[in-house]
Amino acid sequence: RKEVEQDPGPFNVPEGATVAFNCTYSNSASQSFFWYRQDCRKEPKLLMSVYSSGNEDGRFTAQLNRASQYISLLIRDSKLSDSATYLCAVNNNDMRFGAGTRLTVKP
């Protein structure tokens, strides 16, 4: 079983839709959590950290559920520019990445 698992998608949604991604992790001792965005043929870029209390940045909301060992990312009012692959990352000294969930937002 992979340490960090994501639904690979693709998720195809219309502009303005709300979309949610989940990511599960197997190491209960994991200390910190992140969401990265990766555009085609580019490097991953930090989207947001995921704090224990949950956090929001504009249209993006990240949540952590330690009991069930998953993190989530909610994108509201999707824009065309949100089309990308979203990687979750779980840190327990070494960062472990999910394989990514591909999102396409269509007009």
Partner 1 sequence: NAGVTQTPKFQVLKTGQSMTLQCAQDMNHNSMYWYRQDPGMGLRLIYYSASEGTTDKGEVPNGYNVSRLNKREFSLRLESAAPSQTSVYFCASSEARGGLAGGRGYEQYFGPGTRLTVT
Is position 106 an interface residue for partner 1 (rule: CB under 8 A)? no
Is position 107 an interface residue for partner 1 (rule: CB under 8 A)? no
Kindly state the tokens that stand for 74: 């909610």
Part of the chain binding partner 1 (CB under 8 A), chosen from 13-21, 25-33, 74-82: 25-33
DSSP at 77: S
Draw the binding track, 35-74, toward partner 1 (x: CB under 8 A; -: no contact).
-------xxxxx--xxxxx----------x----------
Q: Rounded to the nearest 5°, which phi and psi values hold at 82?
A: -80, -10
CB 20 within 8 Å of CB 7: no
Q: Output the smallest distance, CB 16 to partner 1, in A.
A: 30
The 3-state secondary structure of 17-76 reads: CCEEEEEEECCCCCCEEEEEEECCCCCEEEEEEECCCCEEECCEEEEEECCCCEEEEEEC
Q: Output the smallest distance, CB 69 to partner 1, in A.
A: 13
Part of the chain binding partner 1 (CB under 8 A), chosen from 11-19, 24-32, 74-82: 24-32
> For binding to partner 1 (CB under 8 A), which residues are involved?
2, 4, 8, 30-34, 42-46, 49-53, 64, 87, 89, 91-100
